[in-house]
A and B are shown apart, each in its own frame.
Chain A
Amino acid sequence: MGLVCRVVEQAGIPTVCVSTGRDLTAQVKPPRSLFLNFPMGNNFGQPFNIRQQTAILTRALELIEEVEVGGLLEDWRQPWTEAVEYFTGRTGQST
């Protein structure tokens, strides 16, 4: 997805990537990223938490205007509510 952002940006359309994989994003280096130390698939937080989802999306859009140097990766400060574990694909596992 970082690669997609890079090509779209080069074509003249600003992009922001909302990521849960910090190392993956850091090495692909999309133009602007907001990293959340949340489980993959919870990029905008918890289900039905409208305030949290809106806050994350708002911050991502602010980066479009604020970032002047390509490759910036901002860390979202709020932690997830419990330990974030790598998903192995086993059914029934919760993170």
Chain B
Amino acid sequence: MKPISYVDELNKHYGSMGFPAYEWTLNETAPIIRPGKPISESRVTMLTSGGISHCTMPGFNPDARNDHRLDAVDPHVASSDFQINDSYYNHNDADQDINCVFPIDRLKEMAEAGVIGSIAPRFWSGFMGRIYNRTKLIEESVPAFIEKLREDAVDILVAVPA
């Protein structure tokens, strides 16, 4: 089946809500660096933008725009103790099993099995969609995030947009 054209659908959706036309990012090339060590020796973390918060934290604003909130997630909490607040995707399945969109149990199992070296002490949830102020993202919010990844000696980031 042909993939959904999200650009067309979102243009229609945002337009019908009275939002200004979104200026989509178009890149011709992408940066790439080779990992410094094998996966089996690497420390891995994960970031989701799916509006996922631990039940001890306030929920994300499901209709947020320009929300640069970023929560640190303790990987050792129960995977059933999360809430999802996001109006822009159907999270019925993920409400039942967070691993559909944020596979914290799977990553822990892979660390225990030695497939990856270790999990990082913090996973991450934030940078929900509809961020119009991309300069702030690139120049402030992501560099602050990178500092935290360095504090945790992270070797690999798995990113899950939703």
Contact = CB atoms under 8 A, between A and B. Distances in A.
Query: Do the two chains belong together in a single complex?
Result: yes
B39 interface: yes
Contacts of A20: 161-162
Interface string B9-32: 100010000000000111111111
A13 B157 contact: yes
B93 A41 contact: yes
A19 B92 CA distance: 18
Nearest to B16: A88
Contacts of B96: 47-48
A23 B143 CA distance: 26
Nearest to B12: A86
Contacts of A7: 138, 142-143, 146
A95 B7 contact: no
A35 B6 CA distance: 13
A94 B89 contact: no
Given A5-B159, A22-B3, A86-B9, 8 more contacts: A2-B161, A6-B30, A15-B156, A39-B90, A41-B89, A61-B116, A86-B4, A87-B89
